[in-house]
Every structure is written in C-alpha cells, then in structure tokens.
Structure 1
Amino acid sequence: MLAWALLSAVLWSLAGVGSARSSLFSNEGFVYGTVGHPVKIYVKLHQTSPVLVCMDIDRASKETVDPIYLWIGPNENTLTGSSQINITNIGELVLKDFMESLSGHYSCTLSYKIVKAETQEETSLKKKYDFLVFVNPFAPGWKSMCNSSMDCEDVTNHNILKARDRIEEFFRSQAYILHHHFNITVPAMHFVDHSFQVTRIDNCRPGFGKNEGLHSNCASCCVVCSPGTFSPDMDVTCQTCVSAHVYGAKACP
C-alpha cells in the first residue's frame, strides 16, 4: 500500500488478464470469461465482487439453448448459494463480504446446445471459464478513518493531506503571532516556510504483499499472499513457505 505519512490505503477495483480489458468488462460491472485464459480480478476486502459471468462476450451475443452452469470454488467443491455466495439461474456468480478465505481459483463450465436451422440437428457443447479472484485490502485503521465510506482510499489520503496542511498552518501562525503581536523573538527551533513535508510509506498488512510477476497489472497493489507464501508483518512482499496452504497466511507453520 502506498500512503501518506502514518496511514496507508490503496484500493484496486478490478483488472482483467488475457484479453483487452474492454472485452472483459461491461459498464455495469459484469466480468465475462475467456476460454483458455484465466481472468484475474482484485476485490476490496469486505466488499462485493463484480458479477462473474459464466460465458464469454461472443457467446453472450448469441442464442444459447438449454444452458447448464456448474461453478467450482477454490476448494474444488461445487458452489452453492450462501450468505457470501450468490449464484443466479443464468450462471452469474457474486461474492459478498469478500475475505482472504474466499480468494482463489473459480471455474465455471457452461453446457449448452446449438441447433442447425436447416436440419434441426442438435449438438451438445461445453466451455470452461476460469477466474482468479484475489483480495486487495484496506489499510489498518480504515474503518475509523473512513466512517464506512465506500471509497476509503480517497477519504484517507484527503484526510492525511488535510492534516499536513493544518500542521503547517499551525506552525506558520505560531511564528507570526509570536513575532508580530507579542514582540517575542522566534525561538531557535521554528517553522521554515515550505519545509514541512510528508513521506509516502510503502508496506502491506500481514498476510499481504506485492508481486509484480504474478500481478503485473496490479503491481503496486497489496494482494493476499498465495498458498506457499506468508507475510508476518508490515512487509512489502510475501515470503516463501511450502507448508502455508491457505491464502493470507501470517505465519509459516
């Protein structure tokens, strides 16, 4: 997470890999599959994922006869509806209150038929679509800073920059008042105009890290550590640990 001064928060909404982004995303927040190319998606912690569509855009523009949708989750089990998983009757998947444990590989198999107009002959076909879904978290303390705002990044950075400006104005006003109203010589330690600066801090919360190779289209994002890695502190990268079998590991068992 890149941040100003003491608090960090970088949020990433969505990103697609394997095709041009415009071919994967619609204006309504739907993400379509691509045969043979997993689509990577980054979801903010505790937010709702985009709508994952068990179909590619080309197939969506055509008539689909007798479609059957089968979603498989990260644990290789068939997905069913729950408080965090919503699957519609037209093969759309939405993940709610997204957490580290929901990260991973989601696949959907679409079975359907095509009918030849001339002979009315039916042919059964199957297509598989893969989605890799990862958590991109809020920074520690985002709830108190953002008051449940849906866009914590903007609120956090705005508040920190406002605090910087107020601190700078305080020292400037103090020096002016002491010198012009009380005829007090400004002490040796005093504010120098334009000397106050803030520093960007680059770190990730435990269980998260940056990986330009794995997440090239979200290189600056803190993304949940994949199985086989862990991050025990506010480091920038996930460390290797062959015995870590879950997403977001904070220790090496």
Structure 2
Amino acid sequence: MLHPVQWGRMLCAPRFWVDLGEPGVLGAVGMLTLVLCSCSGQTASVPGHLPDSPSQEHKAGLVFIHMDSSLYSLPCSPKEMEVADPTYRWVRERADPKSLSVTEEGHLLFQHFQASDSGNYSCTISYMDHGLPVSQTFHYNVFGYHMPGGLETLLLFQSKLCEDEWTKRFLWDLQERLQQLETEQRCKLQFTTTSCLPSLNNPSDEFIIQVQLEVSFFGPNWDEHCKSQHVEMVIDCYRETIQHNLEQVRLALTRFFKEHKSFHVTGAGISGIIFTNEFISFLEIKQCNMGYGQTKQLQRCLDCCIVCPPGTFSPPKSLQCSSCPIGTYSMIYGVTFCTLCKDDMITQVPGASSVTECVTERTEQAVSIIHRIPLLLLIILPLLLAINFLFILISCYWFQQEYWMSSPTASKKAGISRVTEMVTKFFRIPREGPKPGSPAADDNDTSLLDTSHPDTSTSQGSDEEHTHGAPSPPGTPNFAALTDEGPAVLELEDRRDTP
C-alpha cells in the first residue's frame, strides 16, 4: 500500500535550491519553494499521497549549485518518500566519462562542483506496491553559478635580467611559496599576465618584471561556514564570507610580500638572479568568471553569474552569455569561446549547440530556400487566385455576350429546320429541291433527302418524269408517296395570298 508523502528532511546542502520558474511545476499543491534541511535535522511535512499510476514523470525544475561547493548531494525526489526497499537509478542526458556517485539513500553526490557538471539529470525511484512494480522519475536541470567577487593584485619586481627562462623560474618559485597562503585563506591564486620592461632609473642594467595576480575566494571548502545555514539565508552567508575573505586575503598578501622582499633564483652556469619586490596594489573586481553570465534566472540572486549553456559563450571580463556566431558552436557548459565549424562549413542560425548543425554552404542555401518557400507561396498564391477569378469572370462575360448577341432569325431558322426534318422522317417524304423562279430559292426553305429506304430513288425518278414538262403551279409544291406502304398522299398547300 502506498504511504503518504511528507515534506521530509532534505540534505546537508543549504546552498542548493529548486527554482520553480512557474506555478504548478511540482504539482497542484502549489508549492512556493522546496525546504532543504541542513545537517541539524530540521524537518517539515505536509500531507499528501503518492500517485496511483505505476509510472509517473515529474519535472522538479531548475537546480542551482554554487561552483566549487563542498560535498553536495542532490536527492532523487524533492520530497521524502516512505516506501519499502526502493531502488534508485540516476541518468545524465549526455554521455559523460565521469561516473556518477550515488549514496544508499539515492542522493547524487558532487564534490567541488564545476561548470562541466551542469546539465540535465533524471532519477527513477522504483518500489513494489501490492506486488506490482511502481516507479517515479524526477527530472532536474542543474546549473552552476557563482557570486561575483574577486581581487586583482599588481606586483612589480626589479631584476638584472629580462629573459623568459628566468622569469618562468621566478614565477614557479613564487607560486610554490604562495600555496600555503591559498590553503590558509581558502582561496585560489592565478598568474594572468607577465611582462618585462626596462627600468626608468637604469634602462641598460635594470629591468622591471610586472606580474598580475588574480585571487578567487572560492577555494577548497570556502563555504564550510555556510553549511549549517538555512536555504533562505545561504545567499547572505555567501556574501558575508566573500567580503570577509577579501579583507583577509588582502592582509595576508601584504604581510607575505613584506616578509619576502626578495627572491633568489639559481640556475646552471649562473650563480643566481635576485628579484626584488618594489610595489604591490589591490583592486576589487565585480565580474563574472569566464563561461558565466548574469542571465537573471536565479531569482534569489539577480546579480549572480549563471553558467553559459551549450550554444552560448562568455569571454573574459564579460557579464553576459552570448549566442555562438554563425559558423561556430559550443557543446558544453561554461565555454569561453565557441568552436569553428570545419572545412568551410557554416551554421544556419546563431546559437548552434552541436557539431551536427554545421553544414556546407550549398546545403545551407538549399535549406534557406526551403525555409523561404512558405513565404513565397504566401505571396504568390493570392495572386494566382486573383488571376483565376478574373479569368472566370471574363469567360462568363464573353459567353453571355455570344449567347444574347446571336441572331433571332438564325435561331428561328434552326427551329423550323428541326421541325421540318422531324416531319419528313416521320412520313418518309422527300423534299423536292427548289425550282427556278419559285419561292423555294428563299433561304427559309430546306431540302431533305431520306435515303433510308431502297425505293426512294426509284419513286423519285418516276415523279420527275411525270412532272417534266408540266410544272406545278407556283407556290404549290406536291409530295408524292415513296412506297406502297403509305396509301395516303400529303399535300401541303401554300396558304400565302397570291397577288
């Protein structure tokens, strides 16, 4: 039997929260936020029930984890589920050579979270209910972020030589000595730029080695103090920790270079070169790291820098993630520059997130034409419909004109001719041709010859011999019987008045 769902105590990771993004992401109960419990064991509970369906999908929303966080764990379910003998299975969206570390409770572990750990994760919890298998899958979109804050340090050293080999040895020795300071202050020190310039006092014999040093406050276990803080207070704890570390690192570096005024570097063939510290200055910076940008996705920290997703990049000292230009792509999170397509290939639109989006120029042109076809049809189709409609109107107009402009006399002639033909065929009587001087020469008379019977020609010849030399009176045509089958003779008299 399914047990009620309770808002349980969550993990010892107050730096983690789920951004609901929009209402209803976690169900109809209308949760405003997920309450994550710290190691102190704080709990909260609300009544609820597990779903009755044997398999269900849940979108848990966006998860933000501060970069370089200490050991962090992501629960399989955003709410504690009291089920018997559950099994857990975590899956990442894309293939990753690094195996996922999962606890017995089904928590996914991250240690020193990095930008590359960002991505889409899903966890399936399976258990038995009344002998039937039941499973629920929870999907997370995990993003790394960091709070802007750092320190730039400018160092000037005087030396007798200006050679790259000796400068590299000096920097290596300096970095070795600063490692203890990094451990004590829980920060990171990185040399960014180095240059060698002639000294203004003695340009021929003395040189100035200029070294720029960047200090990041997110060293190993930098957030140890904030672990016990509640999720609502973790951002404030981060800010206080960064500001405190800023002052501590500034004092520690100043004290270090006072104690180490000069550095003696030795090498083969040379007794040694002395690098003397001449100047040190500090500059507090408020900028995003490379591969991060202020996207305003994390509502709890609007000025925080979110890792740039695939298809975007962020160069050094930039506050925004930009889409990869056409002809480039980025497949991972937190890139500084996008990768160029090979073999003169290009992408169709900016923001490509896969190498498969790189196509040849011909393919791109073909795809561009295909995309333009709907627009061309939208323009041409109404024009074609208008032309067809106009053609139909013109055709109807000319048809009407031809019909009404036809001669009434011609129509009457056609009607009389059809009646005469019907009568002649019915009685099988041939019509004599018109005679000279007779009214038969008028266009109103027609001559029809029925050749359907073999006796027709014979009878016609006899009649012509009989009437030769004795023409019928004008205006009185006679029709003779063609066969013996019809005894009666039809005579048509001309009823027209003669003068």
Band of TM-score, shorter chain: 0.5 to 0.7
Give the equivalent residue in structure 2 for 1:16.
Answer: 18
Bigger CA radius of gyration: 2
Q: How does 1:51-62 map to 2 (within 5 A)?
A: 51-57=73-79, 60=81, 62=82
Unaligned runs of 5+ in 1: 1-11, 116-121, 165-198
SS of the residue 1:233 aligns to? coil
Give the equivalent residue in structure 1 for 2:58.
Answer: 36
Closer/same/farther in 2, CA of residues 134 and 56 from structure 1, 3 Å limit = closer
The CA distance in 2 between the partners of 1:163 and 1:55, in whole Å, is 40
Conservation of the 8 A alpha-carbon contact between 1:51 and 1:92: yes
Residue type of the partner of 2:18? G
Closer/same/farther in 2, CA of residues 229 and 250 from structure 1, 3 Å limit = same
The CA distance in 1 between the partners of 2:249 and 2:335, in whole Å, is 34
Identity of aligned pairs, percent?
A: 24
Give the equivalent residue in structure 1 for 2:140.
Answer: 131
Closer/same/farther in 2, CA of residues 143 and 112 from structure 1, 3 Å limit = same
Give the equivalent residue in structure 1 for 2:302.
Answer: 219
Output one character per residue of 1:114-154: Cα deviation in whole Å (capped at 9) or x when no partner.
12xxxxxx222111111222222365554256575624743
Q: How does 1:17-166 map to 2 (within 5 A)?
A: 17-18=19-20, 19-21=31-33, 23-28=34-39, 36-48=58-70, 50-57=72-79, 60=81, 62=82, 64-76=83-95, 80=99, 85-115=100-130, 122-137=131-146, 139=149, 142-144=187-189, 146=217, 150-151=222-223, 153-158=239-244
Higher relative contact order (CA 8 A, sep 6+): 1
Once superposed, which parts of structure 1, at least 4 consecutive aligned residues long, lie more than 6 Å away?
Answer: 161-164
Conservation of the 8 A alpha-carbon contact between 1:29 and 1:50: no
Deviation for aligned residue 1:225:
0.6
Provide the TM-score with structure 1 as the length reference: 0.62
Which structure: greater helix fraction?
A: 2
The CA distance in 1 between the partners of 2:15 and 2:124, in whole Å, is 25
Conservation of the 8 A alpha-carbon contact between 1:229 and 1:249: yes
SS of the residue 1:111 aligns to? strand
Q: Is 1:239 equivalent to 2:284 in the alignment?
A: no
SS of the residue 1:157 aligns to? helix
Residue type of the partner of 1:231? S
Please give the root-mean-square deviation of Cα atoms over the aligned residues, in Å.
3.6
The CA distance in 2 between the partners of 1:29 and 1:55, in whole Å, is 20
Conservation of the 8 A alpha-carbon contact between 1:15 and 1:218: no
Deviation for aligned residue 1:65:
3.0
Closer/same/farther in 2, CA of residues 78 and 45 from structure 1, 3 Å limit = closer
Deviation for aligned residue 1:56:
4.1
SS of the residue 2:240 aligns to? helix
Give the equivalent residue in structure 2 for 1:209.
Answer: 293
SS of the residue 1:127 aligns to? strand
Closer/same/farther in 2, CA of residues 252 and 135 from structure 1, 3 Å limit = same
The CA distance in 1 between the partners of 2:316 and 2:122, in whole Å, is 32
Conservation of the 8 A alpha-carbon contact between 1:43 and 1:49: no
The CA distance in 1 between the partners of 2:298 and 2:137, in whole Å, is 23
Closer/same/farther in 2, CA of residues 222 and 75 from structure 1, 3 Å limit = same
